[in-house]
């Protein structure tokens, strides 16, 4: 990638001498590298819509109208009511309302076709909503999805959270033979914090034959080809990033009477290193 700086906008690509200090330790079975070359940074500094040079909107209820394959209940929009940059934050808001045949609205954005990278460290600093039936996620898909389909393209779930469990998040890999309910996954539980009251940094460090999962720079899981029950599809293609807040679906079920709306997912920044 050539050096590219967009001074007037809210993100930039660059090559520079930045250092990333990891506060975790690893045993001899874990591969840990120092990824210190910052190549993308979006700090969401300019109020308004997410920058169209970096982010796309996914609109609707999924290509088949089936809740994006997960029985989700929301209709994704590009309205500022559902997604806006404001006061240095990207805000994704889930609203309970009748809209285009759905009972909820929210938003989902991707970097597909605009920023895609194979290997590196991908991270975001976020504060999540809470409540039964909420499903915030920061994740990645292989850019060959249109030709190879899912799960052959591969999926890296950097962070998923069940809204009913504000002390726990998880990370996962999906591929052929290990997808959906059989994905390779592990949870991380907070002891003195919550996902809905504090900001945390959620990230992965992805290299040849491994994906490391981090919370606040603490390594809590590593997945390698030996863990996969099918083909390892994470060494052949760049991936793009997605951020979304789903309502309902297979992961945490539907909201209940105790789930308050509107609910908001706050993203302070997104950064990518090589």
- On whether the pTM is more than 0.85, the answer is yes
For the domain that residue 80 is a member of, what is the CATH number? 2.60.120.200
Find all residues with CB under 8 Å of 41, minimum gap 6, and list them.
Answer: 11, 12, 14, 269, 270, 271, 272
Domain annotation covers residue 20: no
Domain annotation covers residue 3: no
Residue 32 has pLDDT above 80, yes or no: no
| Domain enclosing residue 245, as ranges | 36-265
Q: Calculate ∠ Cα 120-125-128, nearest 5°.
A: 125
Residue positions annotated with a catalytic role: 155, 160
Q: How far apart are alpha carbons 246 and 136 in whole angstroms?
A: 6
Structure confidence by residue, pLDDT tens digits, 76-94: 999 999 999 999 999 999 9
Mean residue pLDDT of the chain comes to 90
Find all residues with CB under 8 Å of 13, minimum gap 6, and list them.
Answer: 1, 3, 4, 5, 6, 39, 40, 115
Domain annotation covers residue 271: no
Of 202, 172, 174, 204, nearest in space to 190 by CA: 202
Domain annotation covers residue 270: no
Domain annotation covers residue 17: no
The residues with which 40 forms a beta bridge, in sequence order, are 272
Structure confidence by residue, pLDDT tens digits, 217-240: 899 999 999 999 999 999 999 999
Q: How far apart are alpha carbons 7 and 4 in whole angstroms?
A: 10
Domain annotation covers residue 231: yes
Domain annotation covers residue 9: no
Of 214, 195, 192, nearest in space to 203 by CA: 214
Structure confidence by residue, pLDDT tens digits, 44-63: 999 999 999 999 999 999 99
Domain annotation covers residue 152: yes
Number of structural domains the chain divides into? 1
């Amino acid at each position: 990638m050539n050096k590219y700086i967009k001074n007037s906008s809210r993100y930039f690509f660059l090559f520079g001498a930045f250092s990333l200090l990891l506060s975790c330790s690893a045993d001899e079975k874990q591969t840990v590298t120092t990824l210190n070359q910052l190549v993308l940074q979006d700090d969401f500094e300019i109020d308004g819509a997410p920058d169209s040079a970096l982010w796309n909107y996914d609109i609707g209820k999924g290509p088949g109208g089936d809740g994006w394959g997960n029985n989700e209940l929301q209709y994704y929009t590009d309205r500022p009511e559902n997604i806006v940059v404001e006061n240095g934050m990207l805000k994704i808001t889930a609203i309970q309302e009748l809209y285009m045949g759905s009972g909820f609205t929210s938003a989902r954005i991707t970097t597909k076709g605009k920023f895609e990278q194979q290997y590196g460290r991908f991270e975001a600093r976020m504060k999540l909503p809470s409540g039964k039936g909420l499903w915030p996620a920061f994740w990645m898909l292989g850019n060959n999805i249109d030709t190879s389909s899912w799960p052959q393209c591969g999926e890296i779930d950097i962070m998923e959270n069940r809204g009913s469990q504000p002390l726990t998040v998880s990370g996962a890999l999906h591929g052929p033979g290990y997808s959906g309910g059989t994905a390779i996954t592990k949870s991380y539980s907070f002891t003195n914090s919550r996902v809905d009251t504090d900001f945390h940094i959620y990230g992965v460090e992805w290299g040849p034959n491994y994906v490391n999962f981090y919370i606040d720079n603490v390594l809590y899981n590593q997945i390698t080809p030996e863990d996969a029950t099918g083909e390892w599809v994470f060494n052949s293609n760049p991936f793009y990033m997605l951020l979304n807040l789903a309502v309902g679906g297979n992961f945490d079920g539907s909201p209940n009477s105790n789930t308050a709306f509107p609910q908001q997912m706050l993203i302070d920044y997104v950064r990518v290193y090589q």
